[in-house]
Amino acid sequence: MADRLRLMAVHAHPDDESSKGAATMAKYVAEGAEVLVVSCTGGERGDVLNPNLKDDVHILRDLPRVRRDEMKRAQEILGVQHTWLGFVDSGLPEGDPLPPLPEGCFALEPLDVTTEALVREIRRFRPHVVTTYDENGGYPHPDHVMTHTVSMAAFLAAGDPAAYPHAGAPWQPLKLYYNQGFSKEKIVAFHEALVALGEESPYADWLERWEDRPPRDITTRVHCADYFDVRDQALLAHATQIDPDGTWFQVPRDLQASVWPTEEYEAALSYVPIAPDEDDLFAGIPDVAAGDELATRGGLEVVHDQRKASTL
């Protein structure tokens, strides 16, 4: 290929990129691919989740700026490019009944507005692969669900010359995946491995309270255990969001590498075939993306469509 392979990871808030697919991104950067993280919001309405910092007045005085600084450090650790899409965090509504979302937040923006913003980034960066969240947002935060909706719309619009003609020259990504790295099977595997070693498992209570959901159709497992350390460093860069003594870090990395050395994805839409037991998000692409001749969707047909309606 004349160009390097390019991956775009679309996320709702700063820190999401480090908890979902970070080792995969670090692996591809090390192998020479270009990786761009798109943060749809600045995480302005997030809370300080690290108990060690919850009373730090310097952080509380300007949490949005702190979170931007944390994102910059995580970006540097992962070796990725990064852009802010520029929308405002919706917050996670709590209570019964749930309060309305705040005016002007990302989840309430018109879809044409949010889609055009992401289409501009797709056409500028020209990714071959896009990753995002499934129809449930991975978990039901309104910004995560909106990120899914916007990603799907922009993926289909970016290669259409008639869509958003002022947002740059058309470019059609060839594959779109959902991050699916958090599953009951993974937690059970860690729990059983710790118990077998005579160690206390932090997951026993989790599993007792687990609410089963329909299983996801995992299509792709990327082996990336060599980059778990980079992933963890990026997570810890988001100091306001990540407790260094929390569950994230209670399974030794060497045990993780032996028990669960992959990050999982669900191919949602693809213009190239998805092979059984796929282990590479770029699989099938170098053979067909030798230049810009596939910049538009014309002549391309979706050969893999695993989209589902939202169950929220």
Binding-site annotation: residue ranges for Zn(2+): 13, 16, 144
Q: H helices then E strands: how many in the chain?
A: 10, 8
Q: Determine what percent of the chain falls in helix, strand and coil, rounding each to the nearest 5.
A: 35, 15, 50
Q: Is the dihedral of CA 165, 166, 168, 173 positive or negative?
A: negative
Q: If you search the block for the tokens 């943060």, which residue do you land on?
A: 39
Cβ-based neighbour number of residue 148 at 10 Å: 22
How far from each other are the two terminal CA atoms of the chain, in whole angstroms? 41
Residue 278 DSSP class: B
Give backbone dihedrals phi and psi of 10, rounded to 5 degrees, phi first: -100, 120
Q: Which residues are annotated as a binding site?
A: 13, 16, 144
Residue 252 DSSP class: -
